[in-house]
Amino acid sequence: MTENIAVKADRLYKAFGRRPNEMVKKLAAGAGRSEVASLGTAAVIDASFEVKRGEIFVVMGLSGSGKSTLIRMLNGLLEATSGTVTVAGRPITGIPARQLRDVRRQSISMVFQHFALLPHRTVIDNVAYGLEVQGVAREERLERARTIIRLVGLDGWADSLPSELSGGMQQRVGLGRALAADTDVLLMDEAFSALDPLIRREMQEQLIELQAELGKTIIFITHDLNEAMFLGDRIAVMRDGRIVQIGTPEDILTDPANDYVAQFVQDVDRARVLTASSVMEPVRSVVTITAGPRAALRTMRDLQTSATFVVNRDRTFAGVVRDRDVLRLVKAGETDLRGIIRDTATAVTPDTALVDLVEPSVESDLPIAVIDEKKRLVGVIPRVTLLAAIGNVSTTTGELPVVEPAATISVSLITETLRETALEGAQL
């Protein structure tokens, strides 16, 4: 169990002031940040969390919320006043400086907000810095640094000085330096905050790619909620030194722990965070392919819709049939739906972001089908649902469940047809 935990923080406190221990005692007894303000600053109060191996864990909070202090306790740059930090199973609180340096060399590296490159060294020497500190021989570390430089997209800049690079490129060097050190855990302190928005987006995407490729555990600090939502597998929201909620981006968006978090997330670009699985509705209008056209027609009549989804016997998605086609089939006495199944319906995976559903939703009047990795139909997203989710409006206000598309053939005509054909087939 502990093998899956890369970093663990347990009841961490950090107080700045003359008598930090006294402050921690008061805070632990339930005092607020303002109540101990006369003694000093309580930067971090009772922070506990576990970061899994290979996870991107985002700590989000406004300035002064204690997030920078928190991240600095994770590699011992700041000593915790109380509580423990465990990195890769090794406790790093209260150990001698020499051992702490070993942990930093082997297990945990860091990317800084203002890059913190060594200005008098070339890009390649900066990237190789961690390896140099680890005592790797010059030839080998330059070789490894060259690989990393290629990885972060700085080919051809190896011998430049940091001052010759743009901000985004400088942070690539910073990222490269941390990656080259080849530690499991990467701490990123507001790493993209100093970059302009376009570059920031590009770096975020690149970080996710790199993480998928290298499988690093990343602890990312940011004040930008959209960034947190985009990057984070899980997010810890901090306020006034305390962690107020830990959860997946969707948890935080759909189920905020308190008004503060709710207020915070109201401006988030929901369409980019919410996924198909979190808004999809149960499939009502569906028939199994073997049930035949009469069953399909009946389903459509009952739900007053003009189309229904068709699934195979193992619930895998087959397509969609329209009422007119089915009616014709029934009148002709055919029993096989296969000939009229259309593949016009859009099928998406459950983790598709809502922003990617808008276009298919505009192009077709059919609900979007959500299918899992085994191609089974797990849910549908009608237009109304999509709109409601993006606009953060509840869909349960109506009396009837949303069914799209609306019926185009009158109920009586369908009933009539079914009755007429019933004599030839089995029972109604």
Partner 1 sequence: MNDFRIPLGTWADGFIDYITDTFGFLFDVIRAVFDGAFEAVDFLLVSPPFWVIIVIAAALAYSTRGWKFAVGSIVGLLLIVGVDQWENAMDTLALVLVASLLAIVISVPLGILAAKSSAASSIIRPVLDFMQTMPAFVYLIPALILFRVGVVPGIVATIIFALAPGVRLTELGIRGVDKEVVEAGQAFGASPWRILRQIQLPLAMPTIMAGINQVIMLSLSMVVIAGMVGAGGLGAQVVASLNRIDVALGFEAGLAVVILAIFLDRLTAALGTGDTPLGRLLGARKRARQQVLAA
Residues making contact with partner 1 (CB under 8 A): 72, 75, 77, 101-106, 108-110, 112-114, 116-120, 122, 124, 129-130, 133-134, 146, 158-159, 177, 181, 187
In the complex, the smallest distance separating the C-beta of residue 123 from partner 1, rounded to whole angstroms, is: 11
Sign of CA dihedral 14, 18, 23, 24: positive
Q: Which is nearer to partner 1, 161 or 303 (CB)?
A: 161
In the complex, the smallest distance separating the C-beta of residue 163 from partner 1, rounded to whole angstroms, is: 13
**Pairing between strand 242-247 and 234-239?**
antiparallel
In the complex, the smallest distance separating the C-beta of residue 118 from partner 1, rounded to whole angstroms, is: 6
In the beta sheet, which residues pair with residue 317? 311
Q: Which is nearer to partner 1, 138 or 374 (CB)?
A: 138
Q: Which is nearer to partner 1, 121 or 328 (CB)?
A: 121
Q: Which is nearer to partner 1, 104 or 239 (CB)?
A: 104
In the complex, the smallest distance separating the C-beta of residue 379 from partner 1, rounded to whole angstroms, is: 45
Longest dimension (CA), the chain: 93
Q: Which is nearer to partner 1, 122 or 226 (CB)?
A: 122
Q: Print burial letters for 53-76: b (CB count within 10 Å at least 16), e (below 16).
A: ebbbbbbbbeeebbbbbbbbbbbb
Give, in order, the Cα–Cα distances in Å from 78 to each of 43, 50, 69, 92, 275: 11, 19, 7, 11, 38
Q: Print burial letters for 280-299: b (CB count within 10 Å at least 16), e (below 16).
A: bbebbbbbbbebbbbebbbb
Q: Which is nearer to partner 1, 78 or 303 (CB)?
A: 78
In the complex, the smallest distance separating the C-beta of residue 95 from partner 1, rounded to whole angstroms, is: 13
**Percent of the chain as helix, strand, coil, to the nearest 5:** 40, 25, 35
In the complex, the smallest distance separating the C-beta of residue 366 from partner 1, rounded to whole angstroms, is: 54
